[in-house]
Structure 1
Amino acid sequence: MSSFQLPPVEGIPTLTTTERTAVLDALFEPCTALHTLSLDFLHDKKFTSYNDLIASIGVQLSDLSESPSTSDSKWLDKILGAHPRLGEKKVESAQAKAEQAQLNTGGEQEAVELRNLNDEYEKTFPGLRYVVFVNGRSRPVIMESMRERIARGDINLERAEAIKAMCDIAADRAIKLQ
């Protein structure tokens, strides 16, 4: 985990843009599209807890998901696509690296299968990455979930599940970074 510590949630509106960006990057993943969507929102709204802040961003993401606008869907996909691929060796954020550590412990055959599933997922849902709250689940369990979601083939459900997973991940990170 990184040495970054979240500031008190009550003070978020008074933080600089750079500091609010660091909060978003620590809770979610570094993503210019998320910064554009949420930085002013974090400046204008007071939050009672990090769960409140995360839920509010979840609403922003859901609003994009439910919008009939193609540009809103593309914007959301940029945000959801900011998460690293599952099982990747090179992961940018310290939080994602720690969360995925257990997925890099299986054999080479499982690693190849996970890479292939990532490829298949991204072909099925162009612009998206498979986002899931790993939360101690094993690579085989995660890969079975990937197969089910690929077979389902519903991009709207994928976006909804990815938003929920992003918020679950952010809530878990908030606990660890306070």
Structure 2
Amino acid sequence: MADVPLPPLSLIVSSTSEPTSYLSSALALLFEPSPPLFSDLVPELEDTLLQSTSPITTYSELIDGALQIIRAWPDELQARFIGAHPRIGEVKGLSAFSAKEQGQGQAGLASARTTATPPKVLERLAHLNACYEYQYPGLRYITFVNGRPRSAIAEEMEGVLGIPHSLSPDQPPVEAVGVVEAGSPEWRSELSRAVEDVGRIAKSRLAALGMQ
């Protein structure tokens, strides 16, 4: 399922084991690799681990610690971080976890291959992604799929955008959805929701590995 296994948590929390490479590997697996993850999250979380008086004992706690750091970042850095996750409906260049999460339900990759998403749904998702990124400049639509089919996510996106349900590949026109000003309360609320869903995705990946 995963490209590489998670390293033992002891290698990350021990100050004598040069934990940076282990921490980078673990966070890239759980959160998706991205420049902000390596340049900002890894060193900040490593400093937190070294200075903490309450030792981390589970990967779930490590994810919580990472989210606490991410929430304190400037909006632009948070947006770049969530942008590392693939767009809903993408089918190429996905990590093993993303491929499973973008599949056709909880049965995993084998089921996804045998029950392919209809092309009309993929076309609709591509349009909805374009609409969302126009409406929320600088953001990418992130949601905790949790085994739902892509058709259900399309309907969810339509609800967020406030547009009627359809399978049209180009309606409404992208420019018709309106623009939410970057940095406004509504824009920041959507950014915050995306960050929380990234955390939920990370914990779901952890559970899929049989870890806590």
Instruction: State if a TM-score over 0.5 links the two structures.
Output: yes
Per-residue deviation at 1:15? 4.5
Matched, 1:158 2:190: yes
Structure of higher RCO (CA pairs closer than 8 Å, 6+ residues apart): 1
Residue pairs, 1:141-152, within 5 angstroms: 141-151=152-162
Task: Indicate if the aligned counterparts of 2:128 and 2:154 stay in contact, CA closer than 8 A.
Answer: yes
The separation in 2 between residues aligned to 1:52 and 1:22, in whole angstroms, is 17
* 4+ runs deviating over 6 angstroms: none
Per-residue deviation at 1:56? 1.2
Task: Indicate if the aligned counterparts of 1:12 and 1:42 stay in contact, CA closer than 8 A.
Answer: no
Residue pairs, 1:1-178, within 5 angstroms: 1-13=1-13, 14-44=17-47, 45=49, 46-64=55-73, 72-102=74-104, 105-151=116-162, 154-177=186-209, 178=211
Aligned to 1:69: none
- Percent of aligned positions that are identical: 33
Q: Any stretches of 5+ residues in structure 1 without a counterpart?
A: 65-71
Cα RMSD between the aligned structures? 2.0
Question: So what's the TM-score if we normalise by structure 1?
Answer: 0.86
Aligned to 1:68: none
* Structure whose alpha-carbon radius of gyration is higher: 2
Greater fraction helix: 1
The separation in 2 between residues aligned to 1:8 and 1:42, in whole angstroms, is 17
Deviations 1:73-96 (A, max 9, x none): 111110011110111121331111
Per-residue deviation at 1:106? 2.3
The separation in 2 between residues aligned to 1:88 and 1:132, in whole angstroms, is 14
Per-residue deviation at 1:17? 2.5
Question: So what's the TM-score if we normalise by structure 2?
Answer: 0.73
Question: Which residue identity lines up with residue 28 of structure 2 in the other structure?
Answer: D
Q: From the superposition, tell whether residues 115 and 59 of structure 1 become closer, same or farther in structure 2 (CA, over 3 Å).
A: same
Per-residue deviation at 1:121? 0.8
* Residues 138-147 or 166-175, more deviating: 138-147
The separation in 1 between residues aligned to 2:45 and 2:25, in whole angstroms, is 12
SS in 1 for 2:103: helix
Deviations 1:130-161 (A, max 9, x none): 11111111222211221222239521121111
Deviations 1:35-80 (A, max 9, x none): 222212342314121111111111112222xxxxxxx211111001
The separation in 2 between residues aligned to 1:166 and 1:3, in whole angstroms, is 19
Task: Indicate if the aligned counterparts of 1:54 and 1:170 stay in contact, CA closer than 8 A.
Answer: yes
Q: Any stretches of 5+ residues in structure 2 without a counterpart?
A: 50-54, 106-111, 164-179, 181-185
Per-residue deviation at 1:7? 2.0
